[in-house]
Structure 1
Amino acid sequence: MSLEFFGSPLTDRLFACSPFTAAARRANVQGAWATWGDNALPEFFSSIALETAAIRNAAMLEDKSPLAKIHVHGPDAARFINRLIPRDATQIAINHAYYTPWCDDLGKVIVEGMLLRLSETDFIVTAGLMNRWLSRQRGRLDVVCEDVTDLFGILALQGPNALSILQEATGHDWSDLGFSRGRRAEFSSVPVHVWRTGFTGVKGYELWVPPEAGNNVWEALVSTPSGASIEPCGHASQDIVRVEAGMVLPAIDYARAGPDSVQAHSYGLVDDAYHASPYELNLGRFVDFSKGDFAGRSALFAESQAGGIGRRIWAMRVDWRQLVSSYLERDEMPIVNGKIRRIPPMELLSGGDVTGFATSIGWSSNLKEVIGFAHLPAHLDPHEVVFLRWDESEHPIDVPVSLSTLPFVKPSRK
């Protein structure tokens, strides 16, 4: 379970250190930390508002090293991958990254995340661990699946100034690196794999770094002339901008399907009622029925032909002024969390009945709105009056919300 705490630099005996922990300790002036698995990472460095503004308007650095990484390799690796994802893996070029869901045989999402191709027979999956699922699917194929999470540090460099910072740090032109593409580089003789991708909806890069070189790469970036615009970014700030970009998280916005679900998450959404297909998570564009058979194909095809899906996810904006007014009428202090509320979901009502639920709810200082994801029946008219049952106070408040298509902020890929 995730913990949040304040204090002096962390004791290595309590938490695992990432390649960037030393640099993060120096920069974390507020001493706010949160856990991600066995790792402790900054919750925020300065303030959530300042960091989210930097992501949209300047540049940020964020440590994403604890992200699970599975190395899938061997003569049958491409065939194996293609059988397990709804996208056509045969179209992935070397040094190309795919964002894709992974589904079980019922068409429910196990995880979603990036699939990176390093060579004809080498892939890396960056998503929740799927050890049991992958083992069961391997059969007689000549393929190996290895957890390589600790072999790389991942440093996200995101924001409008990311390109100039990267070019100054490496001395190379990166303007021709297309979206979702990767390339190798050197930072002061340190080999780094740079991927043009990210989880924020803004232009940026992810730097895959040897563990021993994390501190040097961090310093190389912040020491550039354009690096003065960098704000180190904590977990809370990134969580808000990923909601703005319409990016969902397992166990937070849907329950993981598959045999690894309970093993992988001891908290969050685990009930079958929260399982979801790609269509229900706004990921239907990644389902390709022309590619042949794949896990969940029959169920997803039947769903696509049935005239609609069970649920649909919407961008939800909460009438926070009405919410604050309701608090004041009760002589209570308004409670609007500055961070994303991850669990449990809040109820959504229409016509006086509970018709759905809302996840990842919180204040966006960039948009000046309380936002989140609304999970509602697919047949519901988005113009219908829907209320969110705000349960952050002793007596819940039903506050109106407005719905629109995702994302809140259109990703920039230029």
Structure 2
Amino acid sequence: MNQIPALSRNARAIAAGHVLTPLLGTPFFTRLEALNTNNDWYAWSGYKAPHTLSDEELEYFAIRSTAALFDISPMTKYRISGPDAVAFCNRLTVRDVRKLGVNRVHYTAWCDDHGHVLDDGTLFRLGQDEFRLCSQERHLPWLLDSADGFDVSIADESAEIAGLALQGPVSYAVLRDAGFQGVENLKPFQLGSFPHEGGSVTISRTGFTGDLGYELFCPRELALSLWDRLWAVAEKNRMRAIGYAALNHARIEAGFIVANADFVTSETALREDRLRLPDEIGLDWLVDLEKPNFNGRTAIVKAREKKTLKHILVGLEIEGNVAGPLSLIYHKKKREVGIITASAWSPILKKNIAIASLERPFGEKILNDLWVEIYALRELNYQKLMKPVKIAPRPFLKLDRRGATPPGLT
């Protein structure tokens, strides 16, 4: 029997799109690679993305004290356009798209026919009949199937559109000094088009940190010149490029959730008890029952009427300063009632905070005598800690500058 050389097998696997396929570089990869002194990368939607670049603590404080630049190019981006674009998006998502004005953005979610959340994300209205849907996971087959009967065009523009998140109290000053005139007029969840290198950059006053911030989108070929335009005023404004670790810390403080971290999307769930309705992950406020029918509406209404909701997503404050991601929650230290999905020590609040999924009625009607089981590694030994937890409202951190218009300069 002829033996196939290992190198040949790997080459064939790569050519076939196997898991061994090297991660892609984003349009900003060369700039990030030069800054990544830690060589600390992770995989995001098939792209090589930085977990940290230099120092996680300094990167976090750039978000809260000056300005932080984060590459969001791997985020999935779908262009939805055509005469039925409004009707299609309204049928797809849980919010009333008819209320979303041109050059506005809103946070939304979409469900399968059983009311289980497929994903959450942002919907940008770029024109009267033109939208961009941004999400964590990929949904093109679902979108195309859902578009049956609608006069719409759906295109995956994830690879063609580069994206940056510019966040922090000095983020507006960075844009001003970089020459983006008029950006000070953008209100929260508003977007505009600004000239750049013979083309344009779409800038929206949005972000994932709970702070003053913006997101910038441009064609892939303009990516490096956009980065360099911002970086030219970086030192003056103490702007720092950051990785996901710092961003994740900030988003926990802001109480934001992440698909397949704080909840499992219905397309990726392998077990039925992992499925979640919007009300079970804190997204009940998004659901507009006054709008025309949308995917999952009947199931959501039925669950509310019959009170069959099984889970609830809550904010927690934990005694001490040891974070406990994926730690179990107990009632009276005995009965297991949930799990922490994300946790962090907040330097701003000086509190140990977490997001947790609990089994109702815990976290809804039963709020007291809840405990978390944390295993802390200390000098090569794990120490079991049982710490009391308190239900806390999200967001944990509220910053007035996030909504100030015009934005402040410090």
Shorter-chain TM-score tier: 0.7 to 0.9
One of 252, 262, 285 as aligned partner of 2:261: 252
Q: Structure 1, unaligned stretches of length 5 or more?
A: 1-12, 263-268, 324-335
1:371 paired residue number: 353
**2 CA distance for matches of 1:293 and 1:162?**
40
Shift of residue 292, structure 1, vs aligned partner: 2.1
1:56 paired residue number: 64
1:164 paired residue number: 173
**2 CA distance for matches of 1:241 and 1:34?**
18
Shift of residue 196, structure 1, vs aligned partner: 0.9
**1 CA distance for matches of 2:349 and 2:301?**
37
2:312 paired residue number: 312
One of 387, 403, 406 as aligned partner of 1:413: 403
Distance 1:227 1:73, change over 3 A: farther
Q: How does 1:29-178 map to 2 (within 5 A)?
A: 29-127=37-135, 128-178=137-187
The residue type equivalent to 2:276 in the other structure is A
Shift of residue 360, structure 1, vs aligned partner: 1.4
Shift of residue 248, structure 1, vs aligned partner: 0.9
- Does the 8 Å contact 1:70/1:146 carry over to 2? yes
Q: Structure 2, unaligned stretches of length 5 or more?
A: 1-20, 405-410
2:343 paired residue number: 361
**1 CA distance for matches of 2:351 and 2:131?**
39
The residue type equivalent to 1:182 in the other structure is L
SS in 2 for 1:228: coil
1:348 paired residue number: 329
SS in 1 for 2:373: strand
**Number of matched pairs:** 374
Distance 1:45 1:366, change over 3 A: farther
The residue type equivalent to 2:125 in the other structure is R
- Does the 8 Å contact 2:197/2:222 carry over to 1? no
- CA displacement 1:197-256 (0-9 Å, x = unmatched): 011111111010221222221121122277531011101111111111111111111111
The residue type equivalent to 2:403 in the other structure is R
Distance 1:238 1:382, change over 3 A: farther
- Does the 8 Å contact 1:347/1:389 carry over to 2? yes
- Does the 8 Å contact 1:49/1:365 carry over to 2? no
**2 CA distance for matches of 1:243 and 1:274?**
21
Shift of residue 350, structure 1, vs aligned partner: 0.2
Distance 1:270 1:158, change over 3 A: farther
Shift of residue 37, structure 1, vs aligned partner: 2.4
1:330 paired residue number: none
**1 CA distance for matches of 2:162 and 2:182?**
23
Moved more, 47-56 or 357-366: 357-366
**1 CA distance for matches of 2:270 and 2:244?**
22
SS in 1 for 2:143: helix
**1 CA distance for matches of 2:171 and 2:236?**
9
Shift of residue 188, structure 1, vs aligned partner: 4.3
Instruction: Quote the RMSD (CA, aligned, Å).
Output: 2.2
Distance 1:227 1:149, change over 3 A: farther
- Does the 8 Å contact 1:18/1:211 carry over to 2? no
**1 CA distance for matches of 2:294 and 2:303?**
15
**1 CA distance for matches of 2:99 and 2:25?**
37
The residue type equivalent to 1:346 in the other structure is S
- Does the 8 Å contact 2:174/2:237 carry over to 1? no
The residue type equivalent to 2:27 in the other structure is P
Aligned sequence identity (%):
27
- CA displacement 1:244-273 (0-9 Å, x = unmatched): 11111111111111xxx23xxxxxx64332
1:23 paired residue number: 31
